[in-house]
Structures are given as C-alpha cells and as structure tokens.
Amino acid sequence: MLNLKSVGAEPTGPSTDPAEGLLNPAETFESVSAKIGGIVLERKHPPFWWISFGIAFLLLMGLLYGITILFAYGVGIWGINIPVAWGFAIVNFVWWIGIGHAGTLISAILLLLLQKWRNSINRLAEAMTLFAVGCAGMFPLLHLGRPWAFYWILPYPNTMGLWPQFRSALVWDVFAVGTYFTVSLLFWYTGLVPDLSTMRDRAKTRFSQIIFGILSLGWRGSAIHWKNYQTVYLILAGLSTPLVLSVHSVVSFDFSTAIVPGWHTTIFPPYFVAGAVYSGFAMVLNILIPVRYFYRLDELVTPRHLNCMANVMLTTGLMVVYGYIMETFTSWYSGDIFEQYQVINRTIGPYGPIYWALILFNVLIPQLLWSKRIRTNPVSLFLVALSVNLGMWLERFVIVIVSLHRDFLPSSWGIFAPTGWDWLILSGSLGLFCSLIFLFIRFLPLISIFEVREIIASRTEGAA
Amino acid sequence: MEHRAYSEHGLSGKKRSNLPSRPVFSNQWGSLEELANNPEFRKWPDPEFSTGASEFVDPLARREFMRLMGASLALMAASGCHRPPQQKIVPYVEQPELLVPGRPLFFATAMPFNGSATGILVQSNEGRPTKIEGNPSHPLSLGATSIFEQAAILTLCDPDRSRTIIHEGQIETWESFLSAWLPEQDRQLSQGGRTLRFLIDSVTSPTLVWQIGQLQKRYPGAKWYQWEPISQATIIEGYRSILGRPAQPQYRLAEADVIVAFDSDFLFDSPFRLINTRAFAGRRNYQRPDFSSPNRLFVAEPSPTITGSMAELRLPIAARQIGLLVQLLANRLGVGDPGPKVDDPQAKAWIDACVTELQAARGRSVVLAGFRQSPLIHRWIHAINVSLGNVGRTITYREVPAVVVPQPFGGIAQLAQELDSGRAETIILLGGNPAFDTPVDLEFQKRLSRSHFSLHLSLYYDETSAACQWHIPENHFLESWSDSTASDGSTGIIQPLIAPLYGGHSRHELLALFLGQISVQDYDIVRDYWRSHGQWDDFEKQWRKALNDGILAVNLAQTAEIAWSAEAPPATSDAPNENQSIELSFHPDPTLWDGRLANNGWLQELPKPFTRITWDNPALVSPSLAKELRLVNGDVIEIQSGSSRAEIPVWILPGQAKRTISVYLGGGRTRAGRVGNGVGFNTYQLRNYDFLWFAPRVEVRKTDTRAQLVSTQLHHAMQGREPVRTRTYAEFIHQEIPTTEVVENPALDETLYNFRKMLTAEHQWGMVINLNSCIGCNACVVACQSENNIPVVGKDQVWRGREMHWIRVDRYYEGDPDAPNLYHQPVPCMHCETAPCELVCPVEATLHSAEGLNQQVYNRCIGTRYCSNNCPYKVRRFNFLQFADTKTPSLQLGWNPQVTVRSRGVMEKCTYCVQRIRAVEFDAERGNRRIKDGEIIPACAQVCPAEAITFGDINDQNSLVAQLKANRLNYGLLEELNTRPRTTYLAKVVDVGHATVNPKQGQE
C-alpha cells in the first residue's frame, strides 16, 4: 500500500496519531468500500439528490438559454458599457477560478505535507476544482464580443502568420488556466484509477463492469501498479503545487498589469491566491457538509476534517484581510490622487454598500471561526463558508467593476447595472457546477476509497 | 477623401507636379476663378458628365431599396416617381476623367436653413453623396460647417421621409392630385385667388421669389404668409424701425476687442454662426507668434449657451431683465435718461466691467442682443453702438433682401384668424410644420381643418401633413435644383447630388403647377430665372461657373446706410427688479433646432452642450430654484403659462439664472418618424403668441412622477485632475509659470521596450486642440460620425453608457454652481506613443503604425474590451450589439465607402481619419512629391469653425502642429501616466477680462 515513509519524508504535525479523529475506528476495509462504492452502485439516492439535481438542472437550462441569446445578440444584453467594459463575466471567471483552487491545494500540497485528513475530502475537492475551472473557463469565451473567433488567442500556425500578443495578460491566462485544468484533470483521474477498479470489481451489472473496466485502465492492484502509481501521483502533485500558486497569480495579472487605479498594484498575486484558497475551501465545505449529512458519511468525514478546513479558511481569510489593509494603505501612501480617490470611491461611492457588505461577509463573519464550536458545528460552518463565498464574489465585483466605473477622467465616469441576463448566466453557472457535482456523486466514488483504507492500514500498522 | 484633392487634380491631370501649394491655414480658395476659365475645364464633354453625378448608379442597391419600399406603403406610388436624371451638373474642380470608382468628387451647392444658407461642398462617391464640407469660398462658411449641415446627409437618407402623395390618409397618385387641384385652381382663378392663402417657412430662393411674383399676378387676391418658429425677425424689425427698410447687423468680430452680448448666442443661433465663430476664436490664438491681444466677451443670458461659456464674465439673468440691463448700460455710456437702478451686486459688477471695457474700446467693440429680445431692445443696442462709434467699424448693416424678410408680427395670427373666419378657403403650405410649431393659443391645427382645400408640401408626413387634406412629398435640397440667398446676400445655385430617392416634388415645380405650367422641372425653372434675371453675357459659361463655385458674383444684399443717431429709444416697459416670479424661457434646441430635425438620429444622439443630455429636452432649472422646489434631475414638473399647461422633467443646470426655467423647442414630435416620435417633450404647448420667447410669470408645481433622462456625462467637476489646464492672462503675459508643467515621466531610454524604434516612418502624425478656440459647438462630433460611419445607438443604449462617438466634447464646471466657469474639451483618441491599450490586447488587434497611429484592426478584434479598460481617456467605443444598421438600404447610401462598417463585437475608435491620411499619402507617392503641411485634414478639424483642431506631421519642425506643440501652452492630457499622447491641448487662458496689464508690455 502507499506508504509515504518510503519516500523518506518524516511525518510532521502533532506527536499524537495524525490520523486520530479522521475515521470512525470501527470502519474496516470492507465497510469503507461498501459505503462509498454503494452510493454509486446501489443507486439508493436520497430525495436530496433528486431535488438538488433538479434545481441545478433547471439553472443549467437557464444558462443554455442565456448563452443562446447572448450569442444571437451580443454581449450588449449584459449591463456592461464604456467605462465598465468588464462585468459579471469577468467577476464570475475570477470567482470560479478561485473556487477551483481548493482541490489541487488539498490534493497536492497537503499530500506533500503529509496531511492525512485530506484523504476523505480530496476526491470531492478535486472534482469540484475541475468543475469550477470548467465554469470559469466558460466565461472568458462568453465574455468575448466575437466568441466564434476565440481560438485566435491560441498560438497556432495559421495562414495569416499571426500570433497572439504575448505581452497581454489574457494570453498568459489561457496558458495558466489551460495548464491548470489539464494537470488537475490528470491528477484527479490518476487518483481515481484504483477506485475505478474497485468499482469494477464490485459492480453487479454487466454495463457497469464494462464502463468501469474501461475507465480503470486495466488496474489490477499489483505491487508494480502501486509503485508506478505512487511515482506518477507524486510527480503530478509536485507539478500541481506551483500551479496552485501560479494560476491565480496570472489571473491577478489581468488586473495588475493594467493601469486602472484599483488594479495596478503589486500585492495582487499573493492576495489573489490567498483569496482563491479561501473561497475554494468555503466551496468545499458548502458541498461537503450537505453531502456528508444526506449520504450519512459522518464516519468518513469527521468533525476533525471540518475543523482542519475551517482553520485553513481562517488563515487564508486573514491573509485576505491583510491584502485589504495593505491595498488601502498603499493607495494613501502612494500620494497618487487617482489611487487615493479609488479608495474613497470604493468605500463611500455609489457602490459603497457593496464594499461594506464585502467587509461583513469576508472579514467580520469569518472571525467566528476563532471559536472551535463554530468550526466543528456543520451548520454554523456551512453558513460561514456561504458568507465567504458570497464575500469573495463581492470582492471580485468591487475589484472589477468598482475600479472601472470611475477611473481617470471624471468626464468618462459611468455606472454599471447588471441586467437579468447577467444574473441568469451567473445562476446558470452555479447550475452547471452543481449539476456536474451531482452527476459526479451519482456516477463516481466521491471519497477516495483506497486512501481512506490507507488510514485504516496505517492505524493497523501503528497498532502492530 | 479631403477637399484638397480637387485643388490638385482639378487643374490638370498632366501637370500635377507643378501645383501651387495651398497656404497653411488660409481660407482662400485661390485657384477657382482661374480654374473656371481654364480652357481644359470648359472643354468638358457635357453628356459624359451629366449622367455621372446625379445618377443613383448602383442598380443592386436600387433594387434592394425598391424591395424595402414594397414592404411599406410606398410601392404603389413608386412606379410613377422615379425620374431619369437629365440635367447637367458640374463638379467643383475634379475633371470627369478622374471619375473613377473609389475616388470621390466634390460638388458645390448650398444648404438653405432657417432663412439663410450655407455654401457647402458635397462629397459624392460614385453618385452617392456621403459627406458635407463647408465651401471655403462661401462667405458664410469659409470652409466650416455646423452640425446642421453635417447632419443633412442623414436626413437625405432617412427611410422615414415621405415617399408618396397622401390624401386624407390614403395613398394617391400625382394624377389624382391633379384632378383634385385643377377644379380648385379654376375656382380660385375665377375669383382672382380671393380666398387663396400661402404659408411658407422661409424664402431664400430668388427663383422662388420670382415665381411668387408671377403667382401674385395670376391670383391678385391671394396672400402670402411666412412663419418660422425661430427667426431673426425681431432683430430685422428693430432695424427696420430705425431705417425704414429691413436690415440686419453683421459684425466684424475680428476687429472687436470687446464684445457685450445680451441674451445672444451669436456663435450658435445666428445665421452668421460660422463666420462669427471664426472671427471670435481667431482673436484667441494665443499660440500665434503675431498674437497681440485677446478679445473680451461679456455675456448676460438666462441659460448657459456656448457663447456664454466663452465669456470672461457671464451674468446669469432672467430674459425679462435684459431690457433693463441694456438701458442701464446705455445710461452708463451716456445714452438716454438715467433709468432705474439695479440692486443685484452681480449685475452691477457685470455692468461696471462692461462699461470700463467698452469705454476703453470705443470703435473697437460690439454690443449685440439676440433675437429673443424685442425690437425695442435692438433699437437701444443700436443707440449704444452708435454712441461707442462702432457702427461702420465693427458693425455694418445689410439690408435684408426682400426675399428673406420674415414676417414676425401679425402674419401667422392673421392667417389663423382667416382660417377661422373662412376667408382662407384654399391653403397651400410650403414646408414648415405650423400645426406643430405655431403658438399654442392660435390653435392652428384645429383651424387648418376649416379650410376647403389644404395642401402641405414637406419632406415628412408630419403633424401638419396629417392635418391637411393633401400631402405632397418634397425633395431634399440635395435632390433638387434651386438657388438661395444667405443672410449676407451671397447667392448660390443649389444643385442636386442625387436623383430624388422618393420621387418628390420641389417647391419650384409645385408653384409652376399653380402657375399653370404642368410638368416643368425645377432645373428649367431655375435656369429660366437666371437666364432672364442674371444679366449674364454668356449664360452657359456663367451658369457653369456658378455651379462650379457654388456662389455667384452678385450679392443681393445692399449695405444699408443707417441713421447715425444715438438718440435713445423709448424706455422698455419691463417691471424693474421683479425677482419673485418664475420666468419660462424658450430656446432653439442646440441639436434639433425647432424640431424639424427630430428624425435625425445623429442630432438626437448628439449630447446637448452642458447638460450632455441626448434624446430629450428637459426643463433647465438653476441649482437654487431646484433647491427651493426640492427638485432633483428627472423630477417632472407641471408648468402653467396662461391657459396652457405641460408636464416636463427637469434637469438642474449650473449657470442657469436663478428664477428662470429654460426649455428647448422641438421635442415631443408625434409624426417625425421612427426616430423622433415621442422623443422629448413638446414645449410649443407652453408657447403663447404674446410670449414667443419668454413668459415672465409661470406657475410651477412639482408632480409625483419622474422621467428617465439620459446624459453622456454624469460628472462635471475636475476632481483636482486638471484635464483642462488653465493659466491666467497675467501668468500668460508675464510667462511667470511655464504652462507645460514638468511631469515626472521616465526618460525615453528608461524602458525595456523602446517604442521609439517602432516609429520609423518619415511622417509622425499628431494633433493639437486649442482650448482657447473651442466653443463646444459639437460640429466635430457629427462630422466624425458622418465621415466614419458611426452608428446611432438610441436612448436606451446611451443610458447604458454605450454611445459610439469617436470624439466627444467634455464639459467641466468650476466655481459657484449658480454662475460657474464653463469649459469644453474635445477628446478624440490620444494616439499615445506608449499606448496602454496596445499591450493588453491578446490578439494584437490594436497596434501602432510606424507613423505613430494607434490602429484598430476590426477584422482581428475578438472583443475582449481589455483595451478600453486600460485606456485612461476612455475614447474607445465598443459594438455591444449590432449597432450599425446594415439592413436599411437608404441608410447605406450615406455611408463613407472608405471606412469599414463595423459589426457587433468589435472595438472601434478615432483613427485620425486614417482613410484621409492614406489617400493623400498614395497621391503624394504617385506624384512623387512631399506631403504638404495641412494637406491632410481629419473630419473634425475640417469642420471646425473655430479652427481649434490642427493636424499634421510632428516630425516636420516647420509644420504648424509641431510649432503648436512647442508652444508653452501645450500640454498632454493625463501625461503624468507616461502615455505620451500624440493629441495634445493648448491650455486655456482665463481671467482675461480682469487683467489690467497692457498686453503689449507683457510681450517684451
């Protein structure tokens, strides 16, 4: 079995058993496989699944309708204008990409840091990452004035002899997001292979056996397989780790390389990454907590998991708060009237209430996480995570729209008001995301079976 | 293409290299006379030319057009409407052998407007008129035009223009009209035209006057009336009362050191607007080496006008108090008895300043009042000018040619009465829209229906057409032959640029019909007139010269000898210092004039000065009145003036006189067309016959409703950013402070990306905009729209912040909200050398040319809009939807074929009119010659009556633009961002009126 000690790493963390509280001690190899595999194979889906999936699917249909109208008439159906040429599409893009950070962080960085608590949640987090990045990736295309020409942004040989303009951060975005999506997909799929074979072996119908058989790529669980698997998984983890930091850094370049007051600041890359992890963990919690409740996975996803994730949220949240403070400070310290006005306008301008709502949801409410009772109570933690997700969306709104609506020349200042289409496409992207999550729950093991078994194994070894 | 082309090619195709160069900034059009007598020119084969320009050449477009008409009511009548072009018209200069596809020709004609006319050159692309420029040899144009001339192209192409004869709402043919008219004609002939009445909007055509004279002989009992809702009638009447003959003052503003204007927007609403602007702005050319001293302008007016915005000292004051103010000034200058005193300290200070300045500038000043003031005021003004010794020096009087004398008093009311009493049985309305724009208490629309036979000839099936039994579509002036006399008496031939699109009829043809001449064409009528009255030796030669030049050698207006008496007229009856009541004041709409242009999308969408409102005409109230009535922008108020009442939303306008409300005429049309219907509010409903221009006492009540008003500029303060930089006159004279501020930009070589290496071409284009000259007239905006095929987006889209103008005129306020300083700043693309837009485009759709142009490649643009975000000037415009109307065939006629029509999803912006640059560059290359300075003129610069925009090669140290950039007033907008803009500004010199220094001393 996978034993991280074999790569020479020493376990870190508290001296007590790092696996304590991560699993009900009564769980066995068989019970874990049955519990997780059963969700897919035995098709006993609670009404929760049907209702939630139904709602998500309706929203998804709304998205398709919205996109159809968008492509037929153009981005003018949104509220964007001159000066606010970027609107919800970019807000949503940055928000979703941020959410897409948790999976890789949990899977790769925590793997390298030997945080065993990740084992119960990494699969779902990775899937969430993929879907979030997928939702994010959709927005730049929808955002284009002429979406049918989107591929011009890619460097491909063409008869016009034209290349993308590599000085533009948008081109970097394509590479950053594209790489991230690819590596995340590989990482997720590689991690799925042993479990797919378990599913194949446990499947009762011929159809499932064939499908899972194909997907498991001939995995037989031999020692060679495990050795190769381990090597590949660690390499991918190593590749993913810098990507976690680079993607949102590059996304932040979309703003920080521009000269717009409120965008043009060096603090953006770390501040964006922290914010991304912050919202990513919030989204994992927002999904995990209901799933855990409705699928009765309390034994696999324990209060300790919640506590760990809440701690990460609290930490990254504080980094984000630091970002807010420094942004304000440097605006004042710069002596630049445009930067200074930007802060004034954010706080007391026409969008002032949105800024203060952001402070409430993103700064004040998450401070509840200092309390362990809040951290380990699924309901309160769910609500705090919800507040963070909302807050992070508002933060992107403030960065993108509030910065643009009043820039240099007072004569060109404007205002942005979202239209129904803006909201439809935002809610539709949530619908797409949730639909994918629910289909994932329905068709693939949502918790890594073999990695949970690993915890059991390590405990057995430790006991022995 | 720019009009320079014809001075090049017109002379001779063979001798192109020896062309005389056109002097920089000269208004002369030197080669024309010479040209007209050029034997080669006279050899032009007639038939070859006669078909070329007037034919609607594209058969495909015509078919498409007919298809569209089939869908509407027009098709039924269309078959009989299209006339084959038959008449000869002559291009301005270009030779016919140069009539090649892609090379536009220019034709001289004239645009009649509101009792005057402007000489214009019309660009014709393969028979399609697409752009109008001023005729440099026309004394009222001098090469410039206003928004009205620019927008005429769109009116020509308007698909909503009337296309067919309509009788009582039913489509009819010309033949059925004739069968209805001929019995009516016989009836009138039998009674000598006793009950025949004509109403015409304005007469500027000598030929028409000739025809009217013939008609009067044929129908001795017939009467002619004239009505324009906005006219110079009060001024002319004032001078008639002095002279005995109708006359109009014409100012030599170039020679006036001090100008005092009472309620006069002489830079906009005067027929002399273009030359007034040229002369006025010419005295503010601080950048010229030979600059001696600026003029000083003092304005007293109720509502801010562009003229008022240029004043050194502007006094916001109610229109009813202007008379008092005029008398006070007269008294202070020793004319008339000491009158009542003025308590208002502001007014006192204003009068004091005027008196001081005027006394120091005797014989070098002008005092004038606008047409909104009564004839009596104009007599006072005359007395003041006489006492100052201005008459004959800075002011001359031109006798108004009999043909253009408007009838302000009595005319329309008498006609209304005659209609009422049945004495006007047959009424012929030629143009105009009296059912809409006559004073509401005349109830003209209702009375019109009492006539036995009514006929309206007009461009649109409008409110008046609907109230008449018969409607006949009128030809646009670009479709018909005529002639016109401008306010200064200069007369030109109007020649068509295209066959009538909708098969209408001209006034000449209709009057010929009334004279019993059936199927006579306007071409023959106009030629007949000039053949018999022109006193020309060689008619054909002179005729061709007239067409070629656009102006005749004769001037129909005699200089009037005027009584030089400074005798004080009787005092006006204004109640002194009556401050309590609220005054309602009517003004011409700054874009729609009197409402006749309401279906013109360019003008509807053109932001009105100061308010920057489009697609509306709210009531303008002062900040203090708004405070008193607790009004905010968009609140609807009810105004009651006498028995008339209207509801209208308000807009708070800094600089509006305290207890006044100003409204623009012309909104709220109901039958303007698809563009203009229901846009704005009908303020004619409040206009009573006794108070044509201002009602001293109105009741105002705030209602609970609100209306959506759309302005393109929501912020008016400069926020400490100094987009408009100013220097006081003292600072300028003593050169104490360098106007070009030292900006901490990195040195040119402190960069990893040396943009200078890219700027390799011989010519480096740049622009300078002189803020001292710019009066904010908006002509550049419409010119740019016409030249560059810029779409109209509509009120809703403007509300969303998506107007498409490539050049905008920003305005800023400074100081006291009730009497602020007003600034205009035209903002096109800055063509930054280190353009922030370029490096953020992922597909390199915007990039720099070797000549320093910031280019936008529409085909490559995928619409990320990142460039716009990163543009600190926000001059980029995005096609959020399919804004360009590519479906309406008639609108396609007006497009400039040199400029791509953009589709949705692409960014666009000012190109410095790259198509004009390229045309000259190609031409210079073919001719193996250098491009001359001033040879390339962008549309905005060409139209500018103030000559505020200069374009040229900044690499050439001798070019005008390079010299201007070296001037110490030169600065770059937001240059502290290190954008290195190619468009720069000359800082505005202020406080001139307060300067006591002698300018001559300061220059030493």
Categorise residue B484: left if φ over 0, alpha if ψ from -120 to 50, beta otherwise: beta
- List, in order of start, the domains of chain B with CATH numbers: 4-157+476-548 (3.30.200.210), 165-231+406-473 (3.40.50.740), 234-404 (3.40.228.10), 582-711 (2.40.40.20), 726-990 (3.30.70.20)
Q: Which of B69, B154, B45 is nearest to B790 (CA)?
A: B154
Rounded to whole angstroms, what are the CA distances from B30 to B35, B1000, B1001?
9, 34, 37
Report residue B642: phi and psi, to 5°.
60, -130
Provide the whole-model pTM: 0.87
Distance CA B156, CA B459 (A): 9
Range of the domain at A96: 21-153+182-463
Residue corresponding to tokens 């100008």: B259
Q: Is there a contact between B401 and B556 (Cβ–Cβ < 8 Å)?
A: yes
Distance CA B94, CA B105 (A): 6
Look at B812 and A86 and tell me if their CB atoms are within 8 Å. no
Q: Is residue A4 part of a domain?
A: no
Q: Residues 683..722 of B with a Cβ closer than 8 Å to A: which?
A: 713-721
Distance CA B646, CA B638 (A): 6
- In chain A, the N- to C-terminal Cα span, in Å, equals 16
Q: What is the ipTM of this complex?
A: 0.90
B858 touches chain A (CB under 8 A): no
Q: Is residue A174 part of a domain?
A: no
pLDDT, mean of residues A4-27 = 51
Q: Is residue A209 part of a domain?
A: yes
| pLDDT less than 50: residues of chain B | 1-82, 84-85, 92, 576-577, 995-1004
Q: Which residues of A touch B811 (CB under 8 A)?
A: 411
Residues 6+ apart with CB under 8 A from B440: B644, B684, B685, B686, B687, B688
A74 touches chain B (CB under 8 A): yes
By CB neighbour count within 10 A (0-12 exposed, 13-18 middle, 19+ buried), where does B438 fall? buried
DSSP SS3 for B661: strand
Q: Is residue A14 part of a domain?
A: no
Tokens of B658: 């305290």
Distance CA B303, CA B609 (A): 11
Look at B862 and A153 and tell me if their CB atoms are within 8 Å. yes
Q: Is residue A15 part of a domain?
A: no
Look at B864 and A144 and tell me if their CB atoms are within 8 Å. yes
Tokens of B884: 């360009």
Q: What is the pLDDT of residue B77?
A: 37
Q: Which of A124, A57, A398, A131 is nearest to A287 (CA)?
A: A124
Q: Which residues of B touch A165 (CB under 8 A)?
A: 839, 841-844
Burial B525-554 (b: 16+ CB within 10 A, else e): bbbbbbeeebebeeeeebbbbbbbbbbbee
pLDDT, mean of residues A127-142 = 91
- Choose among B802, B843, B868: nearest Cβ to A152: B843
Q: How far is A432 from chain B (nearest CA, A)?
A: 24
A260 touches chain B (CB under 8 A): yes
Tokens of B326: 């005029």
Q: Is there a contact between B945 and B148 (Cβ–Cβ < 8 Å)?
A: no
Tokens of B392: 């004959």
- Choose among B721, B843, B880: nearest Cβ to A74: B880
Distance CA B550, CA B121 (A): 8
Q: Residues 76..95 of A with a Cβ closer than 8 Å to B: which?
A: 76-77, 79-86
Q: Residue A83: is the preceding peptide bond cis (ω within 30°)?
A: yes
Distance CA B368, CA B276 (A): 12
A339 touches chain B (CB under 8 A): no
Q: What is the pLDDT of residue A396?
A: 93
Q: What is the pLDDT of residue B858?
A: 93
Q: Is residue A434 part of a domain?
A: yes
Mind listing the pLDDT tens digit for each residue in A203-235?
888 998 899 999 999 888 899 999 999 899 889
Rounded to whole angstroms, what are the CA distances from B226 to A131, B411, B740?
75, 7, 55
Residues 6+ apart with CB under 8 A from B550: B92, B108, B109, B110, B119, B120, B121, B135, B137, B138, B492, B493
Tokens of B348: 């006192």
The three-state DSSP-derived secondary structure of B942-954 is HHCCCCCEEEEEC
By CB neighbour count within 10 A (0-12 exposed, 13-18 middle, 19+ buried), where does A222 fall? exposed
Q: How far is B825 from chain A (nearest CA, A)?
A: 10
Look at A162 and B877 and tell me if their CB atoms are within 8 Å. no
Q: Is residue A33 part of a domain?
A: yes
CA of B723: which chain A residue's CA is closest? A409
**Total structural domains within chain A:** 1
Tokens of B688: 């009573």
CA of B801: which chain A residue's CA is closest? A81
What number of C-beta contacts closer than 8 Å exist between A and B?
167
DSSP SS3 for B652: strand
Q: Residues 960..979 of B with a Cβ closer than 8 Å to A: which?
A: 973-974, 977
Residue corresponding to tokens 């900006």: B743
Residues 6+ apart with CB under 8 A from B501: B56, B65, B156, B157, B161, B476, B479, B890, B893
Beta strand residue intervals within B849-895, DSSP E: 854-856, 877-878
Q: What is the pLDDT of residue B926?
A: 92
CA of B861: which chain A residue's CA is closest? A146
Half-sphere exposure of B123 (CA within 13 A, CB side): 28
Helices (H), B429-568: 434-437, 444-448, 463-467, 507-514, 522-533, 539-549
Amino acid of residue B117: A
Q: Is residue A195 part of a domain?
A: yes
In the sheet that holds B313-316, the strands lie side by side as B313-316, B296-301, B258-262, B365-369
Residues 6+ apart with CB under 8 A from B924: B930, B931, B935
Residue corresponding to tokens 């000549």: B851
Amino acid of residue A181: F
Q: Is there a contact between B263 and B381 (Cβ–Cβ < 8 Å)?
A: no
Rounded to whole angstroms, what are the CA distances from A412 to A440, B788, B810?
47, 22, 8
Helices (H), A266-336: 268-294, 303-334
Distance CA B167, CA B207 (A): 28
Residues 6+ apart with CB under 8 A from A340: A331, A332, A334
Q: What is the pLDDT of residue B969?
A: 87
B745 touches chain A (CB under 8 A): no
A335 touches chain B (CB under 8 A): no
B872 touches chain A (CB under 8 A): yes
Distance CA B581, CA B788 (A): 48
| DSSP β-bridge partners for residue B985 | B769, B971
By CB neighbour count within 10 A (0-12 exposed, 13-18 middle, 19+ buried), where does B564 fall? exposed
- In chain B, the N- to C-terminal Cα span, in Å, equals 44
Distance CA B707, CA A303 (A): 57
